[in-house]
Structure 1
Amino acid sequence: MPPKVSMLADIPGEENIPSRSSPTASTALPLHPTFFPFHIIPGISNFRDVGGWPISGESHVRKGVLYRGSDTNRVTPDGIARLQELHIKTDFDLRSSQQIERTGGYKVLGGMTRIWTPVFADEQYTEEAAKQRYELYAGEGTDGIVTAFIEILTSGTTMFRTVLRHLLATIPPSSDETAPALFMHCTTGNNRTGVFISLLLLLLGVPESVVIEEYALSEKGLAPTRHINVERLLKKGAFKEYGPEEAQRKCERMVGARPESMRALIEEVKRRWGGPEGYFKEHVRLTGEEIARLKTLLNVT
């Protein structure tokens, strides 16, 4: 198990927008984590390496080839420089067109190719459909969020196949070679991105308990900017029918990553597809040979 170091550092370039959902002037914001597997990228929250997690014995998931995080709308020049230092060459944007338009477009990242691979098609991201998903994400139990997660997994298969085949085509076989890395993100990096990364780690053989731990790290990764995302949701009118206090509680649950949610999803994946490999073969439509190559490329000692 990778060590857990409680060393934190602030990150420049993030907005601290005062609002009814943000901390008071006398309350310090949580700091951006710097312990494994997080990286400080000014202007991008919840950014971390997908590699480093144990598989079995002395082997672990290969580092430096796939990163995950939130959107790049607020990334600073220093943040872009850090992404370049990590040799990130491709930015896979999982957001729907409406989300991108509402935030003023997308940020051009120097030296990186942006590939737009939305999880949901435009017709799936209507105002009514989004409202229904919000209710599923924000429920107190796990039934609703697992329903939302399964929709993500079944709607985003084209995206996932594109990302994984890009990995297969670009990652050098030797871990001694510097890889042209990929950055995969949605809006906050906890739901869409988190679900796909969890399934990939399960496919590679990372223990379920570790996958749950990795997923739940978004609680810490998003803590410094949670007030911004909650305020954004409230301004959109999310849960306004519940009243201000309950609406805020529901928004906060949306911008989180509860371990029990991933635990319940893993059980549902087993029930539906017999485990991650069944999902990748049946829905993502990877061949047995492609799955074997992924496991070889991403498993290092």
Structure 2
Amino acid sequence: MGIVTSVTRDGFLLPSAPNFRDLGGHRTTSGHTVRTGVLFRSDALHSVADEDLPVYHGLGIRQLIDLRTAHERERLPDITPDGAEYAAVAVQDPDAVGANFADVLADPESARAMFGDGAAERFMHAVYRELVTDETALDGYRDLVERAADGPTALVFHCSAGKDRTGWGAALLLRLLGVDHATVVADYLVSNGRQESTDRWMRRLSANSGLDWADLVPMTRVRPEYLETALTQIDEVYGSFDEYVAEGLKVSADTVERLRERMLC
């Protein structure tokens, strides 16, 4: 019989993947609770340390959803949990600048033009607008919701830092489950305390960019304003969150009901 891991939303379940955490435990406006041990979010899963593998393989995860671009996936392939199906579900156009900013940082002239003088913050707002309107994002997040609704058993979804593409996916799922806005934002902001690995990676990337670290900080953290940008874009383009789900994502009411039946107790 395999190891069964006890899960809480506090602390670092996998220190080598510090933004790996359970989306369960939140209360909904209808008085239900999101089940624990069923839906996990994470940062990159290529570097799960040997000492963390017993916990990782013991979570009962049967689906790993990789939200990264093909270039990211090929450069740093995931460690897949024992018995899990791996699925590449991109939510970002591979030709968008947001999907290739590492290449931009390698060129000082491009880096200054794209991220200098406060441009990094504007860049992040643009990324969040694309996450709710770009066709690749709409297809990918629909796939994520449907997989979360249908199972089987536990699922983990992730990107590189686990904060933006994954952060929007988590906000979407929690909102569909009926978790209130303040709690969704609070869960989103937890990522800020789990970015040491991202900071080290970004500092290496930016070493030859000619930019000050302060220029890049907006890209290394989540901010409530980024999430609000996505929600404002939804209102402006679709009219409401419900219309975004039905007309943008094309997620059916039956799928939402299956998600709630599976995830709420």
CA distance in 2, matches of 1:48, 1:193: 11
CA distance in 2, matches of 1:139, 1:60: 40
CA distance in 2, matches of 1:260, 1:157: 21
Higher helix share: 2
Q: Aligned to 1:218, what secondary structure does the other structure show?
A: helix
Is 1:166 equivalent to 2:147 in the alignment? yes
Is 1:263 equivalent to 2:228 in the alignment? yes
Question: 1:256 Cα deviation (Å)?
Answer: 0.6
Moved more, 125-134 or 138-147: 125-134
Q: Aligned to 1:95, what secondary structure does the other structure show?
A: coil
Question: 1:143 Cα deviation (Å)?
Answer: 5.5
Question: In structure 1, which of residues 82, 93, 99 is the aligned counterpart of residue 66 of structure 2?
Answer: 93
Structure-2-length-normalised TM-score: 0.81
CA distance in 1, matches of 2:239, 2:102: 29
Is 1:225 equivalent to 2:204 in the alignment? no
CA distance in 2, matches of 1:161, 1:187: 20
**Aligned-residue identity in percent:** 23
| Alignment match, 1:288 | 253
Deviations 1:258-297 (A, max 9, x none): 1232233323323332332211211221112212222332
Question: 1:70 Cα deviation (Å)?
Answer: 0.6
Could you tell me whether the CA contact under 8 Å between 2:38 and 2:154 is conserved in 1? yes
Question: In structure 1, which of residues 51, 54, 61 is the aligned counterpart of residue 27 of structure 2?
Answer: 54
Question: In structure 2, which of residues 86, 92, 95 is the aligned counterpart of residue 114 of structure 1?
Answer: 86
Could you tell me whether the CA contact under 8 Å between 1:204 and 1:299 is conserved in 2? yes
Which AA in structure 2 matches 1:206?
A: V
Could you tell me whether the CA contact under 8 Å between 2:131 and 2:230 is conserved in 1? no
CA distance in 1, matches of 2:194, 2:9: 11
5 Å-filtered alignment, 1:140-159, equals 144-153=123-132, 154=134, 155-159=136-140
Aligned residues: 250
Question: In structure 1, which of residues 201, 215, 233 is the aligned counterpart of residue 174 of structure 2?
Answer: 201
Structure 2: tracts of 5 or more residues without a match:
1-6, 105-109
Deviations 1:37-95 (A, max 9, x none): 45421421211111111212532222221111111121113323212222112111111
CA distance in 2, matches of 1:169, 1:35: 23
Q: Aligned to 1:79, what secondary structure does the other structure show?
A: helix
| Cα 1:202–1:181 shift into 2, 3 Å | same
5 Å-filtered alignment, 1:75-90, equals 75-90=48-63
Moved more, 123-132 or 57-66: 123-132
Deviations 1:225-273 (A, max 9, x none): 24312224315x5xx2xx342xx12333212111232233323323332
Question: 1:188 Cα deviation (Å)?
Answer: 0.4
Q: Aligned to 1:110, what secondary structure does the other structure show?
A: coil
Could you tell me whether the CA contact under 8 Å between 1:39 and 1:49 is conserved in 2? no
CA distance in 1, matches of 2:86, 2:114: 31
Deviations 1:176-222 (A, max 9, x none): xxxx2111000000011101211221222211111111111110122
5 Å-filtered alignment, 1:67-78, equals 67-78=40-51
Which AA in structure 2 matches 1:150?
A: R
Q: Aligned to 2:65, what secondary structure does the other structure show?
A: strand
